[in-house]
Structure 1
Amino acid sequence: MTATGVRATARIAARDDGRGGTALPVLDGEGPLAPRRTRGSGGEARVVLVGAMSGPLGGDHFTVGADVAEGARLRVGSAAATLALPGPTKEPARYDVRLTVADGAELQWLPEQLICAAASELYVTTRVELAPTARLVLREEQVLGRAGEEPGRLGSRLTVRIGGRTVLDQELACGPGAPGGWDGPAVLSGHRALGQLLVVRPEFAAAPVAPCVVGESAVLVPLSGPAALVTAVAPDALLLRGMLDDALGALDPLR
């Protein structure tokens, strides 16, 4: 811990074990970030991120990284929602995610919701580097405020590169102090839960998904390259999860 907050890093490395399974030669965490291996299925390794303490608080900086080597399969979730809270300083909290997936490897990144409590300020960055034949399912769910309270401020950026080429680079700011219009009809339209689902499959390059509306307030669009993106807003986290799950079932029926 420093005078301005906690600095913590978690690292996960997945490798083909040569026997049809996936080994985890690196599974390290510090401070509030505690990755734990759980029972997988088939050749897939599973990891759960356990929060060993509350946070991130204002001034904290958490970083989580996963590297999936050729032929490995990894699924990462979290034991509970992440709750961003105001801290002892006026500095915002930061949460950085760095993911790398090699050719013939697969990563499912499926954490629980990130909740920005009242008076908190959090900036999240997710950067994904994929090889041309990598496979990915990535879910992000963000909730502005707990039940019955005002939202915190959230900044979020997601950047995805496939084969060295950027296919998605988007940024969002919402909550008190964010640029005007964040709660208007063109952005959240009064909703407090927002999320996105990114699915990358090599077969999408030859047969891109068709754009469509999913549920009442979600949309599916193809991206340049072998990828598809679902973006959704909802009144609460439960309804948001339902829409994203339905979209994933349609995009990845064998999951």
Structure 2
Amino acid sequence: MQARNGLIATIDDRGVARVLIDRPHRKNAMDAATSEAFIELLGEWAGDDAIRVVVIGGGGRDFCTGADIVDMATAPAPRSDAEAGDRATKTIETGCRVVRAIRALEVPVVAAVGGAAVGIGASIAFASDLIYASADAYFLLAFVNIGLMPDGAATATVAAAVGRARANEMALLGERLPAAQAYADGLVTAVVDADQLDARVDRVVDKLLGASPRALKITKKALDAQTLAGFDLALELERKGQIELLQSPEFAALIAAFARGKAAEPTPVPR
């Protein structure tokens, strides 16, 4: 077992690599250090021919509640527009790199989702190949609620799974999607009782290990070519949009309110 900046990673002798996002004091929200550690870890695994399957999960009650907004709220105010732009660019590019690291894995990636999968946490789950959720799990693209847009390629992965109408509902309304509804919509592979989630994932891993590694890789690549043909374009549009929105008066007001520990009405965006 290896601990890295809010992650716990293991690789067993069968080639099963597991990473837990383990920041329970922040409901597994990912700060910059955890995100960078995640990118680095998956990059190492992508180059390891001994790894057959990757499993992503969350330590404690939740999968991941998104980017750690405490980081943003407590950071010193940017000293110039240029610094604000640089900061926004770095924030969104980190999210892009997180999901690119997942998709760069040629082996099957399994997400074990318990509790909340919010923001980039939801994007991480949706970027996986097989998604198993506990009955008490929920997914939330909360971005619009804080003046932002979905990122982590969620505009591609969600639409590919559920179609335009349901993707619009999830992204534009910013409401919780319970695991049972996510399954009915085709967004997750299966829903199981919380106490059965690990066992179900283990059975899936065992089945994947019994298959031809080369066949799995080639099959995954072919499926990606059809279902995620818009992946790169989605990331680029999210990057451009999020850089603008991260510097908007609305988001600045919401972050300032969060830092003060109270809610505030969004500041209207000048027309």
TM-score (norm 1): 0.33
Instruction: Select the structure that is richer in strand.
Output: 1
Which one scores higher on RCO, CA 8 angstroms, separation ≥ 6? Answer: 2
Instruction: Select the structure that is richer in helix.
Output: 2
TM-score (norm 2): 0.32
